[in-house]
Chains A and B, each alone.
Chain A
Amino acid sequence: MAYIPLADQDEDLHDHPHSFITKYVWSQDHKVIAIQYGSTAIAVGLVGLVLSLLMRLQLGYPDSFAFIDPADYYQFVTMHGMIMVVYLLTALFLGGFGNYLIPLQIGARDMVFPFLNMLSYWFFLLSCIILMASFFVPGGPTGAGWTLYPPQSITGGTPGSEGGIVLMLASLAVFIIAFTMGGLNYVTTVLQARTRGMTLMRMPLSVWGIFVATILGLFAFPALFVASVMMFFDKMIGTSFFLPAIVSLGESLDHTGGSPVLFQHLFWFFGHPEVYIVALPAFGLVSDVLSCHARKNIFGYRMMVWAIIAIGGLSFIVWAHHMYVSGMNPYFGFFFAFTTLIIAVPTAIKVYNWVLTLWEGNIRLTVPMLFACGFIFTFIHGGLTGIFLGNVTVDLPLSDSYFVIAHFHMVMGVSPVLVLYAAIYHWFPKATGKMFNVTMGKIHFWATFFGTYAIYLPMHYIGLLGVPRRYYAIGTTDFIPESAQALNANITLAAIWVALFQVVFLVNIIWSLWKGKKSDPNPWEATTLEWFTHEHPPGHGNWGPELPTVYRWAYEYSVPGVKQDFVPQNMPAEEVETEDGSPYKGHDE
């Protein structure tokens, strides 16, 4: 029973695919799976984008669009939310970037269990198909709001309470199974398959963010799974987990004694970590992009790692700050407000460190860097409003208003999406071997960055006026001035503007893939392992005959006395040329 660590095993243990089908369709290669995950997520995300435009059309110009009735509107809201949070962001960050970057950045040939990894993608695709199928069942998709709160999500009168909600719950359950299969791979690969010299404290922050986020997912998605199963039974076989005795549409239903608040607890026990499942990979990826394009080491690497871990731990004990108005015991609010404000500390540390990384850096304003800097702005704005909403007394009047919408779109909509763009532009040359069009990338950034502010800044104000969220139309009320409607129309125009410029991104990506200039193997002069693969773009098995050896951390930029302004992680100290010829000793060698 001689047991050998993965990094020391021979390469011939891996099977090489030969046919087109095993190479690109039923592929077990983490890079192909990453692209499959990524493109599926983006495709589903485009549906979410179109749904948001339909919502905005209705909100900006009520009574103008006959094809959007109130039921449609609620269905758009619901599907937009669920698609963006779960099927776009979670899948793209973890299934896409997690799959692509983990083995490459830690120096592994693949995930530890490639077959399970492949299944993970196909289950994810199945969950997307089930979700999309709900558009075509009688009654349409569920319109219960993305939080799916019972009783209204499964009682009559709510759009989609016939078939839509059932398909939504089924789709979520399949997604969770898919995520578990992928997530087990990501975590185990980070723990057990690192190459020689790659200690945990030398891992790029991208891997740290994805790693901790995956652990959060593995522990948080079970709550959503259980909630889905219980609601499924309530809907299909008449159990009363979440339904108390209730009168619906003038009829008293056959339920008694259930607890609607139980669903909210289960949902947010998943839902709050979910925020960080999306945010932590974004934190990690943006750290690497900022450090590389500022030609400066990340400020406070160890602190950044511990902040990721601390945020991950704390995210499990803040969930009820989503429930201050739910009717739970008010004393809970005291505890959850306290933990919520504590989580601001490690988060603020990270923001300071990003800014300090830029400080006196040799900043190259490349397209990924623009998006990364944009993220710092939007994240600070979204984070600050979070402090308002985390306090019970401030939250009560703001709850369920457009202020909340503005807050969470800034902090977990716009910010992670900006990081996704930064990361896609940053790793596009590595994944495809082609360079994207820089001018189009810059147009994409400036239009998106200013456009999102044009959307969400006015929403804060509308929320402070007291305009409630999820309403089909504001109508006329005493406390809402007519100017609010004018703002709403402007927001809609800004949303259309932003959406149009996402087409620039898609065109850029597709055109560059087809006709783009060939890229350098390391166009950004980055230090991490994926830029030093045997082939470019990396082939099956990633590394050729020999795994790389790592000598230092990932942030050796602009080292005083060294000729080149970056030292790759896998370059032996003897090979590093110094200006005066003296021997070189790196950060943690």
Chain B
Amino acid sequence: MSGQSLTLSQHAGTIVEDWAGDKETFHVPWGKVMMWIFLVSDTFIFSCFLVGYMKVRRTTTEPWPYPSEVFALELFGVNIPLILIAIMTFILITSSGTMALAVRAAQHNDKKNVFILMAITAAFGASFVGMQAFEWSKLIAEGVRPWGNPWGAPQFGSVFFMVTGFHGLHVSCGVIYLLVIATKILKGHYDKKGDYSIVEITGLYWHFVDLVWVFIFAFFYLW
């Protein structure tokens, strides 16, 4: 097709032909394809949770608590809204960066750095979960329960514990997943085949968990 530009339908035709070739549809290891499909499926779960949240926020008859005040923290005598959640978000986004570096190290077969970077990523993840535990205990101490809270709609607490809990569970699983894979890498489990694509697959999961957090942050804390 040198020099010729394809029409849209020709483009569509070549895409179908590429996908429909024999042996495989995507020229990547099957694990990566499987992870992508799982993540799309998981997206549907989080979407349903968030849609459910938006719906009950519309139907509830009591006022919705004001997130900036609920999630404020007093630091050095100053009351700063959303400060903890800002730090948590910053940490999680940073962990995505270290994960990306780990993937690059894996592409260079740099086992030691893969291990270090994945361990750092896991540490960031663990500290995220730790801060979430702190946030939960603070709210519980202030009287927030899944069935009610001092400031208004009981659904506030229900959604908060359910959605952040489900996300926190994902982060915790991710931390374990990262540590398992990092240890296996260090022990040379993947050296025989020389295939380190597992780091990239783990990375996909980790970036997904971070991305979901951005949506939870936007829809729950900022709205």
Q: Check A188 against B30 for contact (C-beta < 8 Å).
A: yes
> Which residues in A have their C-beta under 8 angstroms from that of B24?
5-7, 191-194
Specify the main secondary structure of chain A where it touches its partner: helix
Q: How far is the CA of A200 from the CA of B18 in the complex (A)?
A: 10
Specify the main secondary structure of chain B where it touches its partner: helix
Contact flags (1/0) for B142-166 with A, using CB distance below 8 Å? 0000110000011100100010000
Contact flags (1/0) for B73-86 with A, using CB distance below 8 Å? 00000000000000
> Residue A174 at the B interface, CB < 8 A?
no
Q: Check A233 against B146 for contact (C-beta < 8 Å).
A: yes
Contact of B23 among A194, A218, A219, A254 (CB under 8 A): A194
Q: Check A197 against B38 for contact (C-beta < 8 Å).
A: no
Q: Which single residue of chain B is at the shortest CB-CB distance from A113?
A: B34
Q: How far is the CA of A520 from the CA of B29 in the complex (A)?
A: 38
> Which residues in B have their C-beta under 8 angstroms from that of A2?
194
> Which residues in A have their C-beta under 8 angstroms from that of B19?
200
Contact flags (1/0) for A147-185 with B, using CB distance below 8 Å? 000000000000000000000000000000000100111
Q: Which of B7-53 contact A (CB under 8 A)?
A: 19-31, 33-34, 37-38, 40-42, 44-45, 47-49, 52
Q: Which of A1-46 contact B (CB under 8 A)?
A: 1-3, 5-8
Q: Check B41 against A219 for contact (C-beta < 8 Å).
A: yes
> Which residues in A have their C-beta under 8 angstroms from that of B44?
218-220, 222-223
Q: Check B34 against A184 for contact (C-beta < 8 Å).
A: yes
Q: How far is the CA of A180 from the CA of B55 in the complex (A)?
A: 26
> Which residues in A have their C-beta under 8 angstroms from that of B195?
1, 3
Q: Which single residue of chain A is at the shortest CB-CB distance from B162?
A: A233
- Give the Cβ gap from A312 to chain B, nearest Cβ, in Å: 14
Q: How many residues of B are in contact with the other chain, CB < 8 A?
A: 46
Q: Check B45 against A196 for contact (C-beta < 8 Å).
A: no
Q: Check B34 against A219 for contact (C-beta < 8 Å).
A: no
Q: Which single residue of chain A is at the shortest CB-CB distance from B53?
A: A241
Q: Check B62 against A6 for contact (C-beta < 8 Å).
A: no
Q: Check A237 against B146 for contact (C-beta < 8 Å).
A: yes
Q: Check A7 against B23 for contact (C-beta < 8 Å).
A: yes
> Residue A257 at the B interface, CB < 8 A?
yes
Q: Check A180 against B38 for contact (C-beta < 8 Å).
A: yes
> Residue A195 at the B interface, CB < 8 A?
yes
Q: Check B154 against A240 for contact (C-beta < 8 Å).
A: yes
Interface residues on A, range: 35 or more
**Known: A196-B22, A200-B25, A239-B146. Is A222-B48 also a contact (CB below 8 A)?**
yes
Q: Check B41 against A218 for contact (C-beta < 8 Å).
A: yes
> Residue A132 at the B interface, CB < 8 A?
no
**Known: A223-B48, A262-B56. Is A6-B40 also a contact (CB below 8 A)?**
no
> Which residues in A have their C-beta under 8 angstroms from that of B4?
none
- Give the Cβ gap from B109 to chain A, nearest Cβ, in Å: 8
> Which residues in B have their C-beta under 8 angstroms from that of A191?
24-26, 30, 33
Q: Which single residue of chain B is at the shortest CB-CB distance from A234?
A: B158
> Residue A229 at the B interface, CB < 8 A?
yes
> Residue A225 at the B interface, CB < 8 A?
yes
> Beyond A1-B197, A198-B22: 16 further Cβ-contacts under 8 Å?
A3-B29, A6-B30, A7-B22, A113-B31, A180-B38, A184-B34, A188-B34, A191-B24, A197-B22, A202-B22, A219-B40, A219-B41, A239-B162, A256-B62, A257-B56, A257-B154
Q: What are 11 sample pairs from A and B whose C-beta atoms fall under 8 A apart?
A: A1-B197, A7-B22, A191-B30, A198-B22, A229-B162, A239-B158, A257-B56, A257-B153, A258-B59, A258-B155, A265-B55
Nearest 5 A/B pairs, CB to CB: A257-B60, A222-B44, A239-B158, A226-B48, A238-B147
* Chain B contacts to A: CB under 8 angstroms: 19-31, 33-34, 37-38, 40-42, 44-45, 47-49, 52, 55-56, 58-62, 107, 109, 146-147, 153-155, 158, 162, 194-197
* Chain A contacts to B: CB under 8 angstroms: 1-3, 5-8, 112-113, 180, 183-185, 187-189, 191-202, 218-223, 225-227, 229-230, 233, 237-241, 244-245, 254, 256-259, 262, 265-266, 269, 550
